[in-house]
Amino acid sequence: MAQNPSAKFATMRGKSPEEAKFFWTGGPVEVAPRTWFASQFSGCTAFETDEGLVLVDTGTRQFAPAIAAMLRQRTQAPVHTAIYTHGHIDHAYGLDAFLLPGQTRPRVIAHRAMPARFARYAQTSGHNAALNARQFGGTVAHQSGETYQAFAAPPVPPDTLYDERLSISVGGVGFELKHCRGETDDHTWVWCPERSVVCPGDLFIWAVPNDGNPQKVQRYPLDRAKGLREMAACAPQALCPGHGGPVIGDAAKIAHMLSETAQFLETLVSRTLAAMEAGSPPHVDIVTGIELPKSDSPWLQPVYDDTEFLVRNVIRLYGGWWSGRPSELKPAPRAELAHEIAKSCGGALSLAERAEALAASGDFRLACHLADFALEAAPQDCAVQEKVAGIYEKRAAQETSLMTINIFHSAAAYARAGRPFA
C-alpha cells in the first residue's frame, strides 16, 4: 500500500463507518485460537505456537511499537519467524518492536524479489521522496530526512527467500506461503489451514485494490485476482488484511469479499483490453471512454486508489509509454507550449480566468488543463498561482480517493510555490 502513513489521511472526507475500515486501528482481536490481529494503519497477525510466534507483517517503524504493545497484551512468546508479505515500509520495517529483550534473531521470510525492491529504493530515494510528497499532498521541500532514510533496506532484512510457494511448520503448526504479484511483484499471502486464517497482505485492503497508483511501478491486477480466488477457495474462517479490520467466523462473507474483488479486477482488465483491441486508440481516449466497474460493497470503494488509475496501469502492462497522441511522440518543451497557448489566449491570466470559469461550471478536467498551461506560462505570476491553486483545491474537494485528493492538494502547494510540479 502506501509508502508513508501520513497525517494526511485526515484529509479523507465523509468517512462512513464502512469506509473507515480501510483506516481501522485496533486490537488485539483474537481471530483464532492463540492467534491475534492488531492494526495501526497497517495490520499484523501473530500466531502463537509452542516454539514461538509466527508474525505476519510488522507495520511501519513509526507505528510498530503501538501494534506490538497491543499483541503483547496477549502473548509474551518470542518471535520465531516473521513473514513480510511485501517490501513496502508499512509491512517490512517494524520487526524490531516485536522482539523480546535478548531473544535470538528470528527467521525472516520473504519472496525472492524483495531484495531487488530495497536496492531500487536505495537507487531512487530522492525520486521516492518527491513522489510520496505528492501522494500525501505536499511538495518535496516539505519532506524530512526521515523520508529519505525510509527508502533503504529495512532494519531486519529477510534471510530466507522463496520462489513460488513455501510450506513451513513452527511448533507443529503449518503455514502455506504463496507468491502472488498484485500491488507488488514480491507479494506473499499466507494460509494457516489448522487455524483457518488467511493473511492476504495488501492483496486485500478494504478498498478498490491499489493497482493503479499513478506514481509507482507496475502492478498486476489479474495476478491479484487469481490469488484472491485461490484464497477464497481455502474457505478461511478469518481474514486478516493488510489494511482495515479483520473478518472473523463468516467464511461465506470472506469468500464473497475475496471473489467480488477478483471479479472487479477481471471486469476492469477485460474492458480495458477490449478498448485497446479496438484499434489501440490514445491512452486518454481509453481512460475517458471506458465504463469503470463499480460496487456498493464497503470493501470496494475507491477511498485510497482511484479506479480510473487501474485502467492506466493495465494499458501500461500491455503497452508502451507513448500516449498515442502524435504530438506527444517527440513533444516540445512544456514551457514553450504553455507560452504559445497563453499568447493565443490573451495571456496566462486570461487562461487562468477561463480555467476558473470552467471549474465554476463543474468541468474540473478541462479546467485543470488550462490551469496547468497558465501556471507553466507564468509560474511567478502571483495572481495566476492563486487561481491555479484555488482550482486544484476545489477539485480535491470533489474527489473520493486519497491518492487523487492529495495529488491535487500537492498541485495547489506547488502552484503557490511558483513551481509547476517539479
Nearest distance in Å: CB 184, Zn ion: 10
- Nearer to Zn ion by C-beta: 192 or 203? 203
- To Zn ion, the closest distance from the beta carbon of 239 in angstroms equals 15
In the complex with Zn ion, the residue whose CB is nearer, 90 or 376, is 90
DSSP state of 269: H
Instruction: Name which of 36 and 304 has its Cβ closer to Zn ion.
Output: 304
Residue range at the interface with Zn ion (CB under 5 A); choices 66-74, 132-140, 194-202, 379-387:
194-202
Q: From the CB of residue 26, how many other CB atoms can be counted at a distance below 10 Å?
A: 13
Least Cβ distance, residue 201 to Zn ion (angstroms)? 8
- As a whole number of angstroms, the distance between CA 253 and CA 232 comes to 10
Number of H helices, E strands in the chain: 13, 13
- Residue 356 phi, psi (nearest 5): -60, -40
Kindly state whether residue 1 participates in binding Zn ion, applying the rule CB under 5 A: yes
In the complex with Zn ion, the residue whose CB is nearer, 65 or 418, is 65
Name residue 145's amino acid. G
Residue 321 contacts by C-beta under 8 Å, 6 or more apart in sequence? none
Rounded to a whole number of angstroms, the minimum distance from the CB of residue 149 to Zn ion is 19
Going by C-alpha positions, the residue among 165, 195, 159 that lies closest to residue 177 is: 165
Buried b (16+ CB within 10 A) or exposed e, 86-109: bbbbbbbbbbebbbeeeeeebbbb
**Of 202, 211, 356, 399, which lies in the binding site for Zn ion, with binding defined by CB under 5 A?**
202
Give, as one character, the DSSP assignment of residue 232. H
Binding residues for Zn ion restricted to 387-406, rule: CB under 5 A: none
Smallest separation (angstroms) from Zn ion to the CB of 135:
13
Q: In this structure, how many other beta carbons lie within 10 angstroms of the beta carbon of residue 289?
A: 12
- Stretch 24-63: interaction string toward Zn ion, x if CB under 5 A: ------------------x---------------------
DSSP 105: P
The answer to whether residues 44 and 67 touch, using CB atoms and an 8 Å cutoff, is yes
**90 is an interface residue for Zn ion by CB under 5 A:** yes
Pick between residue 52 and residue 182 the one whose CB is nearest to Zn ion: 182
- Which residues lie closer than 8 Å to 416 by C-beta, 6 or more apart? 385, 386, 389
Q: Please report how close the Cβ of residue 204 comes to Zn ion at its closest, in angstroms.
A: 11
Residue of minimal Cβ distance to Zn ion:
1
Instruction: Report the nearest approach of Zn ion to the CB of residue 139 (Å).
Output: 24
Identify which range of 202-210, 319-327, 391-399, 409-417 contacts Zn ion by CB under 5 A: 202-210
**Strands across the sheet with 247-248, in order?**
165-170, 173-179, 188-192, 197-201, 238-241, 247-248
CB of 183 to Zn ion, least distance (A): 8
Question: Which part of the chain contacts Zn ion (CB under 5 A), choosing from 66-74, 104-112, 131-139, 201-209?
Answer: 201-209
Between 214 and 243, how does the x/- string for binding to Zn ion read (CB under 5 A)? ----------------------------x-
Size of the site for Zn ion (CB under 5 A): 5
Q: In angstroms, rounded to a whole number, what is the distance separating the alpha carbons of residues 396 and 329?
A: 30
User: What's the closest the beta carbon of residue 85 comes to Zn ion, in angstroms?
Assistant: 8
Q: Does 381 bind Zn ion (CB under 5 A)?
A: no
Binding site for Zn ion (CB under 5 A): 1, 42, 90, 202, 242
